[in-house]
Amino acid sequence: THFGERTVPLEEKQGLVNQVFHDVADRYDLMNDLMSGGIHRLWKDAMVTELAPPKRGARPYRVLDMAGGTGDIAERILNASVGHAEVVVSDINADMLRVGAERARNWRYPAQASFVEANAEQLPFEDNSFDAYTIAFGIRNVPRIDLALKEAHRVLKRGGRILVLEFSQVDVPGFDAIYRAFSDRVIPPIGRVVTGDAQPYEYLVESIRKFPSPQLFSSMLVGAGFKRVKHTSYSGNIAVLFSGWKL
User: Is residue 69 near ligand SAM by the rule CB under 6 A?
Assistant: yes
Residue 79 labelled as part of a binding site? no
Residue 120 labelled as part of a binding site? yes
User: Is residue 191 near ligand SAM by the rule CB under 6 A?
Assistant: no
Q: Considering CB under 6 A, how many residues would be counted as binding ligand SAM?
A: 20
Instruction: Out of 31, 47, 51, 67, point to the residue binding ligand SAM (CB under 6 A).
Output: 67
**CB 74, min distance to ligand SAM, A:** 9
User: Is residue 68 near ligand SAM by the rule CB under 6 A?
Assistant: yes
Please say whether the beta carbons of 218 and 231 come within 8 A: yes
Query: Which is closer to ligand SAM, CB of 49 or CB of 177?
Result: 49
CA 85, distance to chain mean position in Å, is 19
* In the chain, alpha helices (H): 10-24, 28-36, 39-51, 72-80, 94-104, 145-155, 175-185, 187-195, 199-210, 214-223
Residue 33 labelled as part of a binding site? no
User: Is residue 99 near ligand SAM by the rule CB under 6 A?
Assistant: no
Span from 14-22, 77-85, 178-186, 220-228 in contact with ligand SAM (CB under 6 A): 14-22
Query: Which is closer to ligand SAM, CB of 75 or CB of 86?
Result: 75
Residue 199: how many other CB atoms lie within 10 Å:
18
DSSP string, 165-232: EEE----STTHHHHHHHHHHHTHHHHHHHHHS-SHHHHHHHHHHHHSPPHHHHHHHHHHTT-EEEEEE
Residue 106 labelled as part of a binding site? no
- Maximum Cα–Cα distance across the chain: 53
User: Is residue 226 near ligand SAM by the rule CB under 6 A?
Assistant: no
- Cβ-based neighbours of 69, under 8 Å, separated by 6 or more: 21, 28, 89, 91, 93, 96, 97, 99, 100, 138
Query: Which is closer to ligand SAM, CB of 55 or CB of 146?
Result: 146
Span from 101-109, 130-138, 194-202, 238-246 in contact with ligand SAM (CB under 6 A): 130-138
Please say whether the beta carbons of 22 and 93 come within 8 A: yes
DSSP 5: T
Query: Which is closer to ligand SAM, CB of 66 or CB of 229?
Result: 66
User: Is residue 93 near ligand SAM by the rule CB under 6 A?
Assistant: yes
The residue count for the chain: 247
Span from 136-144, 150-158, 182-190, 212-220 in contact with ligand SAM (CB under 6 A): 136-144
Chain contacts with ligand SAM (rule: CB under 6 A): 14, 17, 21, 67-69, 72-73, 91-93, 96, 119-121, 136-138, 141-142
